[in-house]
Amino acid sequence: MAQFGGNPFFSCRNCQNPLAQRDDLISKKFVTKSGAGYMFSHAMNIIVGQKEDRKLMTGVFSIADIFCSNCGEVLGWKYVRAYDISQKYKEGKFIIERAKIAKEY
């Protein structure tokens, strides 16, 4: 993790573009295609792709893939809509694959 405006942040492993601040990290307990994933309340320097409905482990969601705005690397996704009321807390949040972000050290 590096410093961004005095706050620790996570960056793209490919190009070191800042992606999310440590203060915006909600959970490290998500599963992605490549393994562990982190949930963030906000993300920066990303491009949000087209939304589509996808069946994930916890149900069906409308999600949009997110990409690094600098190098175009697919980073994870943004939850646009949760169809199950118990999953509504995920709406508007970002999942970034652990393998796609720089180490925290």
> What is the 3-class SS of 71-89, one letter each residue?
CCCEEEEEEEEECCHHHHH
* SS3 at position 58: coil
CB 12 within 8 A of CB 102: yes
Instruction: Answer yes or no: is pLDDT of 104 > 60.
Output: no
CA 9 to CA 65: how far, in whole Å? 21
Question: pLDDT digit string (tens) for 7-55?
Answer: 788 999 999 999 999 999 999 999 988 899 999 999 999 999 999 999 9
Element (H, E) at 54: strand 46-56
Fold of 9-104: 2.170.150
Instruction: Answer yes or no: is pLDDT of 5 > 70.
Output: no
pLDDT given at position 1: 46
| Domain extent listing, the chain | 9-104
Q: Please enumerate in sequence order all residues whose Cβ is within 8 A of that of 22, keeping only pairs 6 or more positions apart, or say none.
A: 1, 7, 8, 9, 10
Of 5 and 88, the one with more pLDDT: 88
**Stated pTM of the model:** 0.89
